[in-house]
Structure 1
C-alpha cells in the first residue's frame, strides 16, 4: 500500500493522525499461573529477549529497556489468529502486522485493499466469484514466495475446524477454491447467495506460511495442495496440529515464525514480551521502527513508564494510576471511548445448550443493560447494551433491525424458566475484573429463573474449551466435553456471522439474518467493548483504532523523534 502521512491510504480528513509534539482448542495447564508472574517485573533494564522460550536463554544484543514498548490489553499466546486460542486471545493485535490481511480494516470502518499483497476482481453471477492475483514481489521473510497454497490452507483449515482447531466462520460460505501449487492467481467461488462479506475473508493474522509447516512433516507443496483439496485427514493429521499449536509464543519455534508483514518476531522474553524487528525482506514500504517490544496484559505498566520504554498502551481502565495528568511534564495523553467490537457470549452447541430452545431460554435471562452497566463501571467508559448480531453495534442500519433485536434486551423470566435447574459455566481470558463483573451481572439476572451461572474462567478461557458437537473424519458426530458452556469475548460481527444470509446486502437480508440468529442463538450480544489508549506525545502517526488489530493496525508507520528509531526516553532529559 502506498504510504500517506497516516501510513494507510483512504484515511479521510475526519480522522486525526497524531503528529509529533515538542512536549512531553485446549485448556492450557499453568496458563494463569504464568500470567500472574507478569505482574512482578524486576529491573527492566536487565530483561533480555530470547530466541526460544525453552533451553538456556541467550541474551540479545540490546536490552528490552532500550526499545519502543507497546503494551496490549490481552495475553500474547500465539501468532495464529485463526486458531481457537488465537481468536479467544485476540492474537490479531500481534499477528496483524506479521501476516497482513487482504483488506485492512481502517479506523473509520473502511476496508482498505492491501495492494502490496494482492489485487482482487469480483465476477457477477448467482455464485459470487472473486479472483485474487498476488503480486510477484510478495514473499515471506525467508524469501519464499507467497502463493495460493497459503490461502487454500486458510480456507481448508476453516472448514475442517475440528481437525485444525480453527475458528474462521466465513470459510463455510465457500463452495470451492481453484488453486494450483505455486500459483500467484486463484479464484474463490462462494455458495449461491453468499460471499457478501468476502472482504473480511483472509483477515489479519490468519493466512499463515504453509511451506514452513509442510517442511516440518515432509510434505511438498504439491502434496499439501492435493491433501487440502481432497480434505485428506490421514495426510493432514500430522500437519494440522502444527498449524494449530506451532505458532505458540510460550513454546516459540523460530523455524515457523517467518513473516509476510513489515515486522518479524525476533524472540520471546521471560515475561512473555515479544520482540519485533523490521522485516528487511518485506515487499511493501519498510517499517519506520527498527524494533519494538510488545508487552502482554498483566505487565506492570508503571514500571515500563518509569523506565521510559512505554510508548503506546491499550489499557483496561480510563484512569490508569500510573499516568499523572496533573503533572505538566507528563509525556502521555489518554484517549477513551466506545470501541468497534462487541462483547458476546459464544455458546456451545452440546450439553446444556444442545438444542435451540435451551439457548433461547438462557438468552431470555441475560440482562444486557445490567451487563453494559457493569462493564462501564469497571472500565470507566460508558458503553451501550447491544442486541444485534449481524452488524456492528454502531452501524446506522441497526435502527431498521430494532423491532427484531430490542425485545431480546429485556429479561423474560417466564421463558428463561424452561432452563431452570441447570448450571451455565462461563469462561473468559482472565484475570479480568471487567469481565468478572459482567458475568456477575448475568448470574444475578438469571438466578430468579432458577439458572445457576458460574464464573469458570479458572477452568477454561477459549473457544476450544466449550462443550460442543464435533465432526470426525467420516462425518460422524460426537460430543466434546469441555469445562465451559459459553465464552465471553469481543467479536467483530462482520467476520463472525456464518448464516445463510450473511451476504446481507439489503435490509431485508439483514433482517432475515438477525431473525435466524435469534432463533438459533449461537451467541448472545451483550455490550460494546470499552477501550482506553495511553499514547506518548512524542510518537507520531498513531491512529486510534479499536477493531481486532487494535491501535497497532498501522504500527509500521509509527515514528519517534529519536535518531535510533525507538530507543527509550532519557529520564534525565528535559522536554
Structure 2
C-alpha cells in the first residue's frame, strides 16, 4: 500500500511544482528548477529509533544519524571520529574497563533541554532489557553498569571483566534518545526514571519501554517526544512517508548549511520528484531501474557512484519455532549457497559483490584471510546435512518492496529445495525483528516464546556492532576464529554477501562524501551545500 501511495505523491509534487512555476510571470519551468532539497533512501523510514527491533530491520540509522548523532561517527574510510559536539570519552584501563563520557556543556535537544547522563543510562538499559524494550544492541551485554547521577553531564560505563574492546561502537546513531521527553510522556520525573533504570524495575519501565519502542515510529509523529540532539530535527512527516528535516537551532555544533532536507522513503516515485527538481541525492538499489537517471545523457545533472559496501547482508534467524534449536539453524545454514545469493544481488544491482561467510568482522578486513579454511567450510552447500530440516517451511522477510532482495531469497529457495526445505518470500513492506518467532529471556532467566510471522529477516548489518560475544577489534586472528566458531555453532544469523550501494548525486551539491556505513551518504548531511546555479 505504501508503495502505491508514494508513487502518487511524486506525481502530485511534480504537478504542483510545474503549475507554480508556470504561474510566475508566464515563465516556462526549467528541468532543474528546485523548490525542495530531496534525499531519497532505500529504507521505509519507519522509525527514528535505530536500537528498536523495527529500527535495526529498516536501517533507521539512515534517518537517525543527524537527529541523534553517535559519540563516535564512523567516517567513509572506517575511521571512528570523536563527536565532541555531543560528548568526549576517557578510557580507564583495568580488568573492568571504564569509559567516562563527559557530555558537552552546550549539548541540548531541540526543545532547549540539556543532553544529560540519563540519556546514556536509558540507551544502555533499554538495550540490556530486550524483552521489556524490544531492543537490539548486542554489544551492551558487555556492560556491567552505568553510573549516572540524574541531570549530570557525566556518565561512567563500567564493563564486565575483560570486556568492552568495541566500546567506541556503543551509543551509536539513533540510540541516545531524549530521556526527559520519554519520562514526561510516561508521567515520570527524570529522577524517577533514573532510579527505575538503575534498578532495572520492569514494572515501572513498562510504559517507558512502550514509548521508547513505539513513540519514535513515524506513522504517528509526536514532535514533543521526538526532539533532536543533532544538526537537524523533524518538522513533519508527510502523508506518503516523506520526512521533512529542518535545522535544529539548539544544536551545539556548527549549524547545518542547508536549511531543510526532505527525505524520501523507498517506493517513492523518484522520477516524478526528480522531474520537479526536488531530488538532489539518492541511495538506490540499482540506477538502471531509475528512468530519471541516464548516464549517457550529457545534460544529466547527476553523477553515479557504485560501491561494494562495508556492511554485510545476512539472514537474522528466529530463536523459536522452527529455529528454536542450534541444530535446526545449522541445518538451514548448510543449504544456503552464499555464492549464488551474491550472484543474484550482483545481477540486479549491477555491482559485483563477494559472498561472505564471517559474522563478526567486516568482509574486507585482512583478518578474514588468516582464518584458514573456516570461511570456505561455511560457503559450501551440504544437502545431506540440510536434509535434517526436510519438510519444514522457512519464511523470509525484508524491508520491501526490493527487487534485489527478492532475487536473493529466490537463490536461497533454489539451493534449499533439494534438501526438502521450502523457502517462502514473506516480505510485505515494512519489517521488524519482532516479526520473528523468538525466545525471550526475562530478567529472572525464564524463557518466553513469541510466535512470529517470519522465521528469518534479510537485512544489512555492521559486524563490528552486531555480536555481543565479539570482544576484539578484528586484528587478532585467534580471537576472531574463536568467535566465528562459536557463532557458526550457535548460528543466530547467516552471513550472505556484501551490500551493494548505488548513489546518485546532483553535481550542484558540494561536500557530499560517499559512505556505505549504517548512516549512509547522509553521515555529513549538515555539510551539504547546494550552489545557486
TM range (shorter): over 0.9
The match for 2:488 among 518, 521, 525 is 518
The match for 2:96 among 111, 122, 127 is 127
Asked whether the equivalents of residues 38 and 300 of structure 1 are also in contact (C-alpha less than 8 Å), the reply is: yes
Aligned-partner SS, 1:399: helix
Tell me the C-alpha RMSD between the 2 structures. 1.6
Aligned-partner SS, 1:389: coil
Q: In the alignment, does 2:245 pair up with 1:293?
A: no
CA offset at residue 238 of structure 1? 1.1
Q: In the alignment, does 2:229 pair up with 1:270?
A: no
CA offset at residue 533 of structure 1? 0.5
Aligned-partner SS, 1:43: helix
CA offset at residue 501 of structure 1? 4.1
Asked whether the equivalents of residues 405 and 514 of structure 1 are also in contact (C-alpha less than 8 Å), the reply is: no
CA offset at residue 477 of structure 1? 1.3
Q: Give the TM-score, by structure 2 length.
A: 0.94
Q: In the alignment, does 2:26 pair up with 1:38?
A: no
List gaps (5 residues or longer) in structure 2: 18-32
Q: In the alignment, does 2:214 pair up with 1:215?
A: no
Partner of 1:178: 147
CA offset at residue 423 of structure 1? 1.3
Structure with the higher fraction of residues in helix conformation: 2
Partner of 2:22: none
Asked whether the equivalents of residues 141 and 259 of structure 1 are also in contact (C-alpha less than 8 Å), the reply is: yes
Partner of 1:570: none
Partner of 2:366: 396
Matches within 5 A, 1:146-545: 146-319=115-288, 320-458=290-428, 461-472=431-442, 474-499=444-469, 501=471, 506-545=476-515
In structure 2, relative to structure 1, the CA distance for the partners of 1:297 and 1:163 (3 Å cut) is same
Asked whether the equivalents of residues 502 and 513 of structure 1 are also in contact (C-alpha less than 8 Å), the reply is: no
CA offset at residue 221 of structure 1? 1.2
CA offset at residue 402 of structure 1? 4.2
Partner of 1:103: 72
Matches within 5 A, 1:67-78: 67-78=36-47
Asked whether the equivalents of residues 364 and 416 of structure 1 are also in contact (C-alpha less than 8 Å), the reply is: yes
Output the CA distance in 2 between the equivalents of 1:163 and 1:470: 9
CA offset at residue 90 of structure 1? 0.6
Output the CA distance in 1 between the equivalents of 2:4 and 2:341: 26
CA offset at residue 294 of structure 1? 0.5
Q: Give the TM-score, by structure 1 length.
A: 0.87
Aligned-partner SS, 2:428: coil
Asked whether the equivalents of residues 273 and 293 of structure 1 are also in contact (C-alpha less than 8 Å), the reply is: yes
Aligned-partner SS, 2:156: strand
The match for 1:117 among 82, 86, 89 is 86
List gaps (5 residues or longer) in structure 1: 1-32, 49-63, 563-574
CA offset at residue 35 of structure 1? 3.2
Output the CA distance in 2 between the equivalents of 1:185 and 1:255: 25
Could you report, residue by residue, the CA deviation over 1:255-276 in whole angstroms, capped at 9, with x for unpaired residues? 1121100001010111111110
CA offset at residue 74 of structure 1? 0.9
Asked whether the equivalents of residues 545 and 553 of structure 1 are also in contact (C-alpha less than 8 Å), the reply is: yes
Output the CA distance in 2 between the equivalents of 1:136 and 1:500: 33
CA offset at residue 458 of structure 1? 2.6
CA offset at residue 104 of structure 1? 0.2
In structure 2, relative to structure 1, the CA distance for the partners of 1:460 and 1:86 (3 Å cut) is closer
Output the CA distance in 2 between the equivalents of 1:65 and 1:325: 21
Could you report, residue by residue, the CA deviation over 1:28-83 in whole angstroms, capped at 9, with x for unpaired residues? xxxxx2233112233305779xxxxxxxxxxxxxxx96211101111111111110
In structure 2, relative to structure 1, the CA distance for the partners of 1:233 and 1:266 (3 Å cut) is same
Asked whether the equivalents of residues 72 and 93 of structure 1 are also in contact (C-alpha less than 8 Å), the reply is: yes
Could you report, residue by residue, the CA deviation over 1:528-568 in whole angstroms, capped at 9, with x for unpaired residues? 00110000001000000011000000000000112xxxxxx
Output the CA distance in 1 between the equivalents of 2:438 and 2:102: 38
Output the CA distance in 2 between the equivalents of 1:405 and 1:327: 43
Aligned residues: 516
CA offset at residue 503 of structure 1? 6.1
Could you report, residue by residue, the CA deviation over 1:444-477 in whole angstroms, capped at 9, with x for unpaired residues? 1011111111111139832111101113464421
Aligned-partner SS, 1:227: helix
Output the CA distance in 2 between the equivalents of 1:261 and 1:200: 18
Could you report, residue by residue, the CA deviation over 1:215-238 in whole angstroms, capped at 9, with x for unpaired residues? 012211110010001111111111
Q: Identify which range, 110-119 or 321-330, moves more after superposition.
A: 321-330
